[in-house]
Structure 1
């Protein structure tokens, strides 16, 4: 199993807290990825600017940031531990992140969202069709 998935599963149950990245105390979807990165690779590759809590129109901020540090891949190439970016509304920028995982029942992903905190969800067709990009996080810190 990927070290990334093992670390991310250790965050399951962490409550949702916008802008935070503290295992057990609180995080949002970006905070989960930041926390896993710090635990496995050390310092983050760039400072994270303040960002809005709810989706706003604008550029592909998350996708652009991921592309500065990771190689973009197709979903068919992704392995457990790789980064998934989701577009929650058609035509909107990608504003949600998750880490690909795998359970006996099939593909899943670990993510954090309001009212749920960090959870592992099945990568069902409604989630899969919202994937805007995949990045090979396992090449960098796997």
Structure 2
């Protein structure tokens, strides 16, 4: 595992215990799943290349637009789903036919796969990437080795 991947995982785990607060990205104060990934980016990569606009809890479901996926594609490096590695950003579709609107950072692969994510009622936690959760992953990305703008 590269130094970059180790730094991403360390930083993601350092956010564990941060309360869930919609649209925030402040370690220990509050964040949502996007705020977690943004916070890890800023700690590891530096300034973020794009600030997200305000967003509702339903994201772009009413419009059926994959806005989160499009933003991830602009700034992260797309990977095949089968090429999972620690430090990857994983994008989930919470239900079939809905837009993808949940993010996490994978910390382990293999039979004991795990990821760090933030979700309502729980804050930032590290959870098993169990088969039911893994089936909901629709895209996988890695942080760029150089900032992508």
Cα distance, 1:77–1:105 mapped onto 2, change above 3 Å: closer
Rounded to whole Å, the distance in 2 between the matches of 1:115 and 1:52 is 17
Query: Does the Cα contact within 8 Å between 1:4 and 1:138 map onto a contact in 2?
Result: no
Alignment of 1:47-66 (within 5 A): 47-55=51-59, 56-57=61-62, 58-66=64-72
Alignment of 1:1-142 (within 5 A): 2-55=6-59, 56-57=61-62, 58-102=64-108, 106-137=112-143, 139-140=145-146
Query: Does the Cα contact within 8 Å between 1:83 and 1:135 map onto a contact in 2?
Result: yes
- The secondary structure found in structure 1 opposite 2:117 is strand
Cα distance, 1:41–1:114 mapped onto 2, change above 3 Å: same
- In the superposition, the TM-score normalised over structure 1's length comes to 0.92
Deviation at 1:140, TM superposition (A): 4.9
Rounded to whole Å, the distance in 2 between the matches of 1:23 and 1:48 is 18
Rounded to whole Å, the distance in 1 between the matches of 2:77 and 2:103 is 16
Rounded to whole Å, the distance in 1 between the matches of 2:146 and 2:79 is 13
- The secondary structure found in structure 2 opposite 1:77 is coil
Rounded to whole Å, the distance in 1 between the matches of 2:146 and 2:72 is 12
Going by fraction, where is helix more abundant, 1 or 2? 1
Runs of 4+ in structure 1 deviating by more than 4 angstroms, as ranges, are none
- The secondary structure found in structure 1 opposite 2:16 is coil
Unaligned runs of 5+ residues in structure 2 are none
- In the superposition, the TM-score normalised over structure 2's length comes to 0.88
Cα distance, 1:40–1:111 mapped onto 2, change above 3 Å: same
